[in-house]
A = this chain, B = another copy of it.
């Protein structure tokens, strides 16, 4: 586990993790004789390069074969609950409602707007919503939703959060509902090492590709390794941006390009670090 190697978790925490069936990770390692002798984190590392599919649509859409990854973006997750008052849809005048889904709708629009206000790298998503009582003819009285904000620069991400929370408060007030919101996850941005990024870029050019600098949306082992050693990543396109899905697919030519750029990067890094 790269998190234990880099000291983000202790070895014990990781060995004690259990899967949904209750099996302990350390026991499973022992069972397949994969638990080595070396102390976790002891292995010397001069630099770290990781090759991965993009898990997103940008390289494919813009017709690049190689992405030179500048870092992993920061991410903050929130849970929001809007509370108003259930009411009959047929007998409650519009002015006497405290409609939580209507207020949530404005809030969902605000999440997208704050991301667009920080284009092109800002991302804002409401992926999950639960509405109560969720009936055709009842004005909703409670609506829950999640917010996912991302940006590669933590300072900008903090600005996005501040601006969003101000907007949400004012939406709640004008909608005569109350908003309860809490941050449930904060994963800071991980900028990669500029020397390593340049090594990837140079290696790509040498292999005949024009690389596109790109920020990683998902986390990777590299996000942990970057804590302890100069790090960068190489992305290759994946069809339709799909990942963790049976339809995940890349071409042999893309795999070859990625492997060649990785080889070139390691050889270059060997002269630098």
Contacts and interface: CB of A to CB of B under 8 A. Distances in A.
Interface of A: 54-58, 61, 73, 75, 77, 87-96, 99, 101-102, 104-106, 108-109, 112, 115-116, 119-120, 122-129, 131, 134-140, 146, 148, 150, 216-218, 241, 243
Given A57-B91, A61-B96, A115-B94, A128 B136 contact: yes
11 contacts: A58-B93, A88-B243, A89-B127, A94-B115, A101-B129, A125-B137, A125-B139, A127-B137, A127-B139, A129-B134, A137-B148
A77 B90 CA distance: 11
A116 B99 CA distance: 14
**Integer count of this chain's copies in the complex:** 2
B134 A90 contact: no
The 8 A-B residue pairs with the shortest CB-CB distance, nearest first, are A56-B91, A90-B217, A91-B217, A89-B125, A105-B108, A105-B105, A89-B148, A136-B146
Contact of A92 (B57, B88, B94, B135): B57
A104 B119 CA distance: 22
B136 A148 contact: yes
Contact of A241 (B92, B129, B243): B92
A55 B217 contact: no
Contacts of A216: 91
Contacts of A135: 127-128
A13 to B, nearest CB: 23
Given A54-B91, A92-B241, 5 more contacts: A88-B243, A91-B241, A95-B120, A126-B140, A128-B136
Nearest to A149: B89
A90 B73 contact: yes
Nearest to A235: B91
B122 A128 contact: no
A216 B91 CA distance: 7
Nearest to A57: B96
A87 B150 CA distance: 15
Contacts of A102: 108-109, 112, 126
A123 to B, nearest CB: 7
A46 to B, nearest CB: 29
A91 B55 contact: yes
A109 to B, nearest CB: 5
